[in-house]
Structure 1
Amino acid sequence: MRQNNQNQSISKTQYAYEYLRTQILDGVYGPGQRIIIDQVAKELGASTIPVREAIRQLEVDGLIQYKPYSGAIVSVINENEYIETLSVVAILDGYATALSSRNMTESQIEKLKELNKQMEDALYEFEFEQFGVLNRQFHSIIYQECGNSFLQEEIRQAQQRLDRVRSSIFTLVPQRSRQSIEEHAKIIHLIQEKAPIDEIEKAVRQHRLNTIEAFKNRMKPGKDKKE
């Protein structure tokens, strides 16, 4: 009986963990927002114990931090970490896409086109969190065909570091969404036309670097006009 109760407790903790993690990554809980344990427990129909355990796990993941007099809050965006991590992803992503480009089937390429169209629809509806989800799916399909498991693991780990802000980056920089769709279309075209591998790698790397520049310049609306 004790073992069953223990398993049930683990299950509730895992459920609370997945629930809170999804809420954070989808932007329901924004950076700096306080997590009210009693409220979450009520939403889940559970006691506060599994919620507290889940919060401890999320603190280890870096998604939640404790602040004096505030308790558990969603971790604030570390801009330098985001920029540095995405700079690494730009290199890894470009190389992985170049490797994948010769292995992708027509059905996979059509799926990329479909996802890009869904991203356009999400942009039209101002659903920026959904836009971020579709963006991850878009690049994930390409990674699957690179044929290098070590490279895939490196990208996966880098993506985990980005996850906290990735789903909300297009909310922070909405004008980047339209540019991203256009760049995706170019990448799809290069893959479908079997363009030189170095050209594909360069296009994808620049795609990521453009996101970094948009993120850096988001508080400088007059910068483009001056240049």
Structure 2
Amino acid sequence: MVKKNSNVKKLPKTTISKTQYAYEYISTKILDGDFVPGQRIIIDQIAKEIGTSTIPIREAIRNLESDGLIEYKAYSGAVVSAINETEYIEILSVISVLEGYASALSARKLTEKNLNELMKLNEQMHQALKQFEFEKFNQLNRKFHTIIFEKCGNNFLLDEIERTQQRLDRIRRSIFTLLPERARQSIEEHQLIIQLFKENAPLSKIEEEVRQHRINTIIAFQKQMRNKKN
């Protein structure tokens, strides 16, 4: 069910179109995990929440269907799409290679201030996990890796990482809500990565560890999907 609304968001008085605002509102709910796979999209309720008619909502849903976030099912109407397992694994595999290489390029450019920020972010992720604040955890995790690879000095590589990450976001940004144990392991792996930076470890070792860090998420995801099917 759509959450009832102490936090009703009315349509802002800006130049943004009603359809675009509805698109962003619904897609954010999906990507943040507020709307879960298989959940029915109640058009009248969303129209009330953002203070508009149902027409922009319907148009937004058509766009979201094109993006793969929503699908139509008989007798249910528009529902949140299930995670595309194959696409998720393929994209995450590519990100593991891109971020591993970018992290190796950045390794010798990270300052003491950067390393301290990484440690702080990792501790904040630990606290977010303890409070079950998975969206905050995801945001901190994204920032953690961005601080590392943004210093790689290769703009083409950065653009490819961003494009690939956006495709991953369309599948599900809140994957750690499905894999809480993996979230805990991720924090431990971050500690190892930080230590490698501090020790000026061989670049090949840094690249390997960052790549494996992403691959471990694939392994955990595949295990979870197998368990669900058994």
Q: What range is the shorter-chain TM-score in?
A: 0.7 to 0.9
Q: Which amino acid aligns with 1:70?
A: S
Question: Does the aligned pair in 1 maintain the 2:39–2:79 contact within 8 Å?
Answer: yes
Find out whether 1:88 has 2:98 as its counterpart: no
* 8 Å Cα contact 1:65/1:74 also seen in 2: yes
Structure 1 stretch displaced more, 40-49 or 121-130: 121-130
Q: Distance in 2 between matches of 1:9 and 1:64?
A: 26
Is residue 37 of structure 1 aligned with residue 51 of structure 2?
Answer: no
Name which of structure 1's ranges 70-79 and 106-115 shifts more when overlaid on structure 2: 106-115
Aligned-partner SS, 2:109: coil
- Unaligned regions of 5+ residues in structure 1, if any? 1-6, 222-227
Q: Which residue of structure 2 lines up, in the alignment, with residue 133 of structure 1?
A: 139
Q: Mean Cα displacement is larger for which, 181-190 or 65-74?
A: 65-74
CA distance in 2, matches of 1:31, 1:45: 25
1:159, distance to aligned residue in structure 2 (A): 1.1
Q: 1:67 aligns with which of 52, 58, 73?
A: 73
Is the counterpart of residue 17 in structure 1 residue 14 in structure 2?
A: no
On the 8 A contact 1:9/1:50 being kept in 2, the answer is: no
Q: CA deviation at 1:8?
A: 6.8
Alignment map for 1:1-227 (pairs within 5 Å): 10-218=16-224
3-state SS of 1:111 partner: helix
- Alignment coverage as a number of residue pairs: 215
Deviation string 1:139-177 (CA, Å, 9 cap, x unpaired) is 122221111121112111221221145433212111111
Task: Verify the 8 A CA contact 2:37 2:81 in the aligned structure 1.
Answer: yes
Instruction: Give secondary structure in 2 for the equivalent of 1:73.
Output: strand
CA distance in structure 1 between the aligned counterparts of 2:40 and 2:15, rounded to whole angstroms: 24
| Residue identity opposite 1:58 in structure 2 | L
CA contact 1:123–1:177 (8 Å) conserved in 2: yes
**Alpha-carbon deviation of 1:59?**
2.0
Answer yes or no: is the 8 Å Cα contact 1:132–1:166 preserved in 2. Answer: no
> Compared with structure 1, are the counterparts of its residues 203 and 166 closer, same or farther at alpha carbon in structure 2 (3 Å cutoff)?
farther
Secondary structure, counterpart of 2:124 in structure 1: helix
In the alignment, residue 29 of structure 2 is paired with which amino acid?
Answer: Q
- The amino acid that maps onto 2:116 is E
Instruction: Give the Cα–Cα distance (whole angstroms) in 2 for the partners of residues 217 and 47 of structure 1.
Output: 43
Contact 1:32 1:75 in 2 (8 A): yes
Structure 1 residues 12-61: Cα deviation after superposition (integer angstroms, max 9, x where no partner): 22221221111111100011211111110100011112222222222222
SS at match of 1:134: helix
Shift of 1:193: 2.5
Q: Answer yes or no: is the 8 Å Cα contact 1:40–1:51 preserved in 2.
A: yes
- Distance in 1, matches of 2:208 and 2:14, equals 50
